[in-house]
Structure 1
């Protein structure tokens, strides 16, 4: 532990470096040429990098890393959004929105109970939560991929509004 503290002075700094290491798994080869497709693919690769590490999303969510892998991902995403015709402000804010969405959904996915866990179904009763009861089949752990695609399309479709 003393050796680690010699090189990395604080716990926060260690977490920043670990978060950046998670993003080192993003592959930038073969990205689509169309800007919005490229942005969507980058978000998907970001999600896969987070999912490839136990609690990867929770680790990255808790840091503010201005490190090489984090900056490369952000730069590529912003570039795709600028290439899609967004002005600087909209590109920056959309990049944040995409990043927050991916982090939040992936963190939930990594913390989700087993598919056989029916706590949510038991907790959502028909008298106290009628709207949730109606949509319950769409809130199950097995549809994270579909929720990711839907949410990402929703965010990106509003880019040029």
Structure 2
């Protein structure tokens, strides 16, 4: 544990949690590309080596940030039936990702075996096992739910890219008849697409 000077001139203790909190604040303000050990050090008013003393590397910092995001998922008050519980867990997961700028991009780029991440995974996999799935089915369905949620949420958090407009200009009945037939359904509400995809996964899993 080290000390740094606060704005009031008094020293305050610097811990790994303090570093991660500062990094998450930086993420929310400026996005994932702005997060670095040096930027976090500047934010805290310390030298970069002080930050690295607590988190070792930028990769490790990102892992701890991702686990902190996972720690914001409440796991109490879940429904009893396994399928309703799986839905609620996944919705809570998505909300935690959306609560931070580039939250999905942060989590999708890390693979932390840390307490909060393992706690959520244990709850989700345990829920799927309760449905009667065998080990492989529960593990692979959990991955399917997680990858689907991360991918859709990352798209939702991406800068505007006018995909609907570009598709409308590129897709014609002659060039891409199948895509043209479903063109109006290729975009739309992220909430609706999330609920549809989650229902499809769980329906197949049941």
TM-score scaled by length of structure 1:
0.90
> Are 2:193 and 1:147 aligned?
yes
Q: Secondary structure at the match of 2:189?
A: helix
Runs in 1 of length 4+ with deviation above 6 angstroms? 114-117
**Structure 2 regions of 5+ residues with no counterpart?**
1-47
CA offset at residue 124 of structure 1?
A: 2.8
Q: Deviations over 1:33-68 (max 9, x none)?
A: 000110111011101110111110011000011111
Distance 2:158 2:170 in 1: 18
Count of aligned residue pairs for this structure pair: 159
2:180 aligns with one of 111, 123, 133: 133
Distance 1:116 1:88 in 2: 39
**Structure 1 regions of 5+ residues with no counterpart?**
none
CA offset at residue 117 of structure 1?
A: 6.8
Q: Secondary structure at the match of 2:205?
A: coil
Classify 1:50/1:144 alpha carbon distance in 2 versus 1 (closer, same or farther; 3 Å): same
> Are 2:90 and 1:75 aligned?
no
CA offset at residue 152 of structure 1?
A: 0.9
1 or 2 for the larger relative contact order (CA 8 Å, sep ≥6)? 1
Distance 1:128 1:24 in 2: 48
CA offset at residue 96 of structure 1?
A: 0.9
Classify 1:116/1:84 alpha carbon distance in 2 versus 1 (closer, same or farther; 3 Å): closer
